[in-house]
Amino acid sequence: MNALHPEQYRWHSVPNRPALEEAALGIILDSAATSISERGRFNIVLAGGETPRGIYERVREAPTDWSAWHIYFGDERSMPPTEPELNSCMAAEAWLSHVPIPEGQIHVIRGDIRADKAAAEYAQLLAGVDLFDLTLLGLGEDGHTASLFPGNPLGTAVDSPDVLPVFNSPKRPPQRITLSAARLSRSRRVVFLVSGESKRKAVAAWRAGNPIPARAIMPEAGVDVLVESSLLE
């Protein structure tokens, strides 16, 4: 796996979760303002899991032109549409159901059909999307990101499919859909959100140069990692 040069990782140490949320909020709103003023729209990829919840709750109060926001998801869990553990349900509950983003601009990944069919469907939708403007990603304890897990194909080759089905996720549920590393990397800016003692080993592995899946994300502009300072000690 090729990797970014160390200097292309910008590690931003933040003292705690609220500071991480504040920093992430600033990046999201700056990216939105720039994208909307330059291109009239803002294509953002949302991270799943729990870390982003507080950030999403704060974004919903933002003074912005919601009609220009286009929401995509980095991955989704294969679960029934009303399952609160769906990444799209968490984002809707924390943020999206509270703001007037046109429904046709919130592009959820279907969790209610087989992952390979959902992947093909979402890939078709992404075919019409050039660069994402901002991609938010989490980091798992094993170094996974989105639903790109160690030992699985990460889709790093430039001609990789945009979206991959997962049938053996070590993080429940076993069936998921994930954007490939190549597709996640086609983003003007990529920001990882890393918080919680359980991520210590993954952060250490990442900084030691180990080939964890998060390292497969290699946007041209490099990667920003917002990480709690205690995980860098």
Given the rule CB under 6 A, which residues bind ligand 6PG? Answer: 47-51, 75, 77, 87, 138, 140, 144-147, 171, 196
Instruction: Give me 178's structure tokens.
Output: 């994930």
Q: CA dihedral defined by 79, 194, 59, 216, rounded to 10 degrees? A: -70
- Minimum Å gap between C-beta 189 and ligand 6PG is 17
Query: Residue 232 in 3-state DSSP?
Result: helix
Query: Which CB atom, from 51 or from 187, has the smaller least distance to ligand 6PG?
Result: 51
- Shortest distance (Å) from residue 5 CB to ligand 6PG: 24
CB of 9 to ligand 6PG, least distance (A): 18
CB 207 within 8 A of CB 225: no
Nearer residue to ligand 6PG within complex by CB, 42 or 192: 192
Buried b (16+ CB within 10 A) or exposed e, 131-162: ebbbbbbbbbeebbbbbbbeebebbbeeebbb
**Alpha-carbon dihedral sign for residues 62, 99, 147, 183:** negative
CB of 12 to ligand 6PG, least distance (A): 17
Of 22 and 83, nearer to ligand 6PG (C-beta) is: 83
Give whichever of 138 and 165 is closer to ligand 6PG, judged by the CB atom.
138
